[in-house]
Amino acid sequence: MTGQILALGGGGFSMEPDNPLLDDYLLSLARNTERPRVCFVPTASGDAEGYSQRFRDAFGPDRAEASVLNLFQREVVDLEEFVRGQDVIYVGGGSTANLLAVWRVHGLDRALKAAYDDGVVLAGISAGMNCWFEASVTDSFDVNSLAPLEDGLGLLPGSACPHYDGEELRRGTYLDLVGKGFPGGYAAEDSVGLHFRDGELVAAVTSTPGKAAYAVRAGDGGVVEEPLAVRYLGDQ
């Protein structure tokens, strides 16, 4: 099976409710494209019901077979069976550190790795981008500052930085960290999705013209910020 991940720096139903381009692209990756089974995982927001309802509204029965996996009031007994039965797992934003801790307590981290190996498409925005990488930049520990986090799930190598243009401190903090030895990786602006297949970046797409994404690494003269080719989904 081919493992696929769509990592969103921002955008999608929660940030662009009137612009379905990124979410449509995600659904196009599902093994069942006629009426894909899409599960929203709102752990990073503390299973916020309002967030989950926005997901249900965006992925109505004419578009997908939608479900929500809550862990704070858990109802699903066999997590691995449940997530492996989905076509897409969509992880919401919030606290990356809390998300990882709760997933590991319940064993959802292992279940998601099994689903990924089975061909379930994994996706997410912000914390839902960070979680798939080995490392990331997060505001989990202080909403007024950013900090490195180095114990992600590691399905994707290196590090992630979402909201690269949407939050003032993101770019400068990420470049500074990479320059000091933090793992290099990928930075995505809001409205940009990075599509990985078997750990390799195969496409960068956007729902808004002019948005950018970068491969970031330490170089001989400092930090290299290499622009990626980003395709506007509205052109197809």
Mean pLDDT estimate for the chain: 96
Q: How high is the pLDDT of residue 33? A: 84
Q: How high is the pLDDT of residue 203? A: 98
Q: Residue 32 gets which letter from DSSP?
A: -
Which CATH number does the domain housing residue 181 bear?
A: 3.40.50.880
What whole-number distance in Å separates Cα of residue 46 and Cα of residue 71? 9
When pLDDT is averaged across residues 12-16 and rounded to a whole number, the result is 96
Q: How high is the pLDDT of residue 121? A: 98
What whole-number distance in Å separates Cα of residue 227 and Cα of residue 121? 25
Q: Strand pairing of 133-138 and 156-161?
A: parallel
What whole-number distance in Å separates Cα of residue 113 and Cα of residue 115? 5
C-beta atoms surrounding 47 within 10 Å = 20
* pLDDT tens by residue, 189-215: 999 999 999 999 999 999 999 999 999
Residue 11 domain boundaries = 4-235
Which stretch of DSSP H or E encloses residue 65? Answer: strand 65-68
| pLDDT value at 236 more than 70 | no
C-beta atoms surrounding 222 within 10 Å = 10
* pLDDT tens by residue, 117-145: 999 999 999 999 999 999 999 999 987 88
| pLDDT value at 100 more than 70 | yes
What whole-number distance in Å separates Cα of residue 226 and Cα of residue 91? 27
The domain tally of the chain equals: 1
What whole-number distance in Å separates Cα of residue 152 and Cα of residue 140? 13
When pLDDT is averaged across residues 17-21 and rounded to a whole number, the result is 97
* pLDDT tens by residue, 159-178: 999 999 998 899 999 999 99
* pLDDT tens by residue, 154-163: 999 999 999 9
The encoded tokens of residue 21 equal 């381009």
Q: How high is the pLDDT of residue 1? A: 60
For residue 219, name the pLDDT band (cuts at 50, 70, 90). Answer: confident
Name the phi and psi angles at 180, rounded to 5.
-100, 10
Name the phi and psi angles at 100, rounded to 5.
-65, -40
For residue 32, name the pLDDT band (cuts at 50, 70, 90). Answer: confident
Q: How high is the pLDDT of residue 87? A: 98
Share of the chain above pLDDT 90, in %: 92
Residues taking part in catalysis: 126, 163
Q: Which of 165, 163, 93 is nearest to 131 (CA)?
A: 93
| pLDDT value at 79 more than 90 | yes
